[in-house]
Amino acid sequence: MKKSDPSWSDVDDYIVRHLIGDDLVLDACLTANARAGLPEIDVSPTQGRMLELLARGVGANHILEIGTLGGYSAIWLARALPDDGRLVSLELEPQYAAVARSNIDSAGLADKVDIIVGEATGSLAALEANKIARFDFVFVDADKENYATYLDHAIRLSRPGAMLVFDNVVREGGVIDPASSDPKVPGTRELYSALHNHPRVDATAIQTVGSKKWDGFLLGIVRDD
């Protein structure tokens, strides 16, 4: 098998037809993103649905996302929230955030989602300083170079029992390839190293294939202090 196999996408299509179905809101989001020239690095439909189910599974009322892009994963996550729930999503690029804002408004989720524009490390420090909510669910999907830093912030901002999910932790096997030239790999390895025997987080990672090629999610649960 090659590092990317077209049949992975075909199976994703089958899964979407049976378990997810057509979704005009999410189709419109991806169309708007393409029109605005955003990179096509959103999570896939099956992955977005998984995020929604995980967030519902932990009964999330407050969700934090790091890396909004055009709001595709944010729409999935916001759908997991109860009426009084909130998603805070952090995005560096003002132009991406504006596209996401528009997509989230069109999805009817405007009241549930706050997008904070700027370097996530600064936004996270501000959230901590303002003692904004303890999050129940954190999805990390921004610059991989800072994943270990985002882990520390996520723990400080989370309640015990919160679920943490990091995207792109396999990168077509690059994570274990000593010759990998992928600049996003070292930061990913720092995340694994930080979580090795971590005192506060129980974790695993699950490899995935599909329309977004071979990659994976790292899942963790924050324990009591």
Interface residue list for Mg ion (CB under 5 A): 141, 167-168
Concatenate the DSSP letters of all residues of 63-87 into one string. Answer: EEEE--TTSHHHHHHHHTS-TT-EE
Q: What tokens does 169 get?
A: 């932790």
Residue 73 binds to ligand DHB (criterion: CB under 6 A): no
Burial of 143 by CB count in 10 Å (0-12 exposed, 13-18 middle, 19+ buried)? middle
157 to 186: interface string for ligand DHB, x by CB under 6 A? ----------xx------------------
Q: What are phi and psi of 135, to 5 degrees?
A: -80, 150
Residue nearer to ligand DHB on the CB measure, 61 or 168: 168
- Min dist. Cβ of residue 101 to ligand DHB (A): 19
Residue 65 binds to ligand DHB (criterion: CB under 6 A): no
Residue nearer to ligand DHB on the CB measure, 85 or 187: 187
Q: Which of 141, 164, 188, 191 binds ligand DHB (CB under 6 A)?
A: 141
Residue 143 binds to ligand SAH (criterion: CB under 6 A): yes
- Scored b (16 or more CB within 10 A) or e, 43-54 reads bbbbbbbbbbeb
**Angle at CA 31, nearest 5°, toward 60 and 150?**
40
Residue 50 binds to ligand DHB (criterion: CB under 6 A): no
Residue 23 binds to ligand SAH (criterion: CB under 6 A): no
Residue nearer to ligand DHB on the CB measure, 61 or 103: 103
Strand, helix or coil for residue 55: helix
**Residue 164 interaction partner, one of Mg ion, ligand SAH, ligand DHB, none, beta carbon < 5-8 Å per kind:** none
Residue 136 binds to ligand DHB (criterion: CB under 6 A): no
User: In which order are the strands placed within the sheet that holds 86-91?
Assistant: 113-117, 86-91, 62-66, 135-140, 158-167, 215-222, 201-208
Q: Which residues bind ligand SAH (CB under 6 A)?
A: 41-43, 67-69, 72-73, 90-93, 96, 119-120, 141-143
Q: Which residues bind ligand DHB (CB under 6 A)?
A: 41, 141, 167-168
